[in-house]
Amino acid sequence: MKHIVFYSGGIGSWATAKRVIARQGKENVVLLFTDTLIEDHDLYRFIDETVREMDVDLIWLEDGRTPWEVFKDVRYLGNSRIAQCSHLLKQKPANDWIKTHFKPEDCILYLGIDWSESHRTKAPLRNYASYRVEFPMCEEPFRTKSDLISELEELGIEQPRLYKKGFAHNNCGGFCVRAGQGHFAHLLKELSDLYKHHEIKEQEMREFLDKDVSILRRTRNGEKINLTLRQLREEVECKKTDQIDMFDIGGCGCFVE
Ligand code: SF4
């Protein structure tokens, strides 16, 4: 029986791996990482140090495309409703690898969803219906993110730098098409060059599709309207932040949709 942990490079998946190793023994555990090729450089340091500390096998998968290349290929700009990048760069490579190597009765899959987001367990249970899927961080003892960061740092491993910069997750370098206005405003504040890179990519997609599309949307007079990254940046720069919903952080979760 193999115990396969979806290892995203986030603190939740690290804590999940630690729990699974404690219960099942490290020789029976495999970590599965899917690289979108736009990850933060410090994510690789985090993965390298934690995998060495846990001394377990790591399977590294990559489709070979970035989310932006996927959007061009599928001729659709990802957003909070449909994110093909998540399906093609994360779920599909992981699913293909699992199905190629293990029958449902030969493995258990583990995801890093915790007790505070247990409503998100429904989608993976449905998506992997023929496999057994477990969520160790939804079980006692319950841990907060800061508890986990302290436990990590007690091992002499620094938390991912995006957490220190106030990002809620460590996926896709702080970018995510499922994120909301508040998240992107934070990206602009903390990593403005990266924000501008994604702003340019969004403009390129608009020209490529020759359509008024955008990652973000906002509601005006009860109607949903597009909000480009360029508009959002200009609003922040002109201090028109009253129009920006800073509480709209969105929800990033490549394996929970
Ligand atoms: S983190 Fe967001 S942008 Fe990256 S692959 Fe997942 S859904 Fe797409």
pLDDT tens readout for residues 128-174: 999 999 999 999 999 999 999 999 999 999 999 999 999 989 999 99
Q: What residue segments make up the domains of the chain, in order of their start?
A: 2-164, 172-243
* Bond prior to 141 in cis (omega within 30° of 0): yes
**pLDDT surpassing 70 at residue 249:** yes
Ligand 1 pocket test: which of 177, 184, 257 has the largest number of ligand atoms within 8 Å of its C-beta?
177
**Closest atom of ligand 1 relative to the 83 alpha carbon:** 7
Q: Which residue CA neighbors atom 7 of ligand 1 most closely?
A: 86
Is the C-beta atom of 178 inside 6 A of ligand 1? yes
* DSSP letters for 96-149: HHHHHH--GGGEEEE----GGGGGGGHHHHHHTTTSEEE-GGGSSSP--HHHHH
- Cα 204 from chain centre: 23
For residue 252, what pLDDT is reported? 66
pTM: 0.93
Is the C-beta atom of 201 inside 6 A of ligand 1? no
For residue 248, what pLDDT is reported? 78
Residue 228 phi, psi (nearest 5): -80, 165
**Closest atom of ligand 1 relative to the 172 alpha carbon:** 4
Q: What are 60-88's pLDDT values in tens digits?
A: 999 999 999 999 999 999 999 999 999 99
Cα(86) to ligand 1 centroid in Å equals: 5
**pLDDT surpassing 70 at residue 53:** yes
Fold of 2-164: Rossmann fold (3.40.50)
Q: Which residue CA neighbors atom 3 of ligand 1 most closely?
A: 176
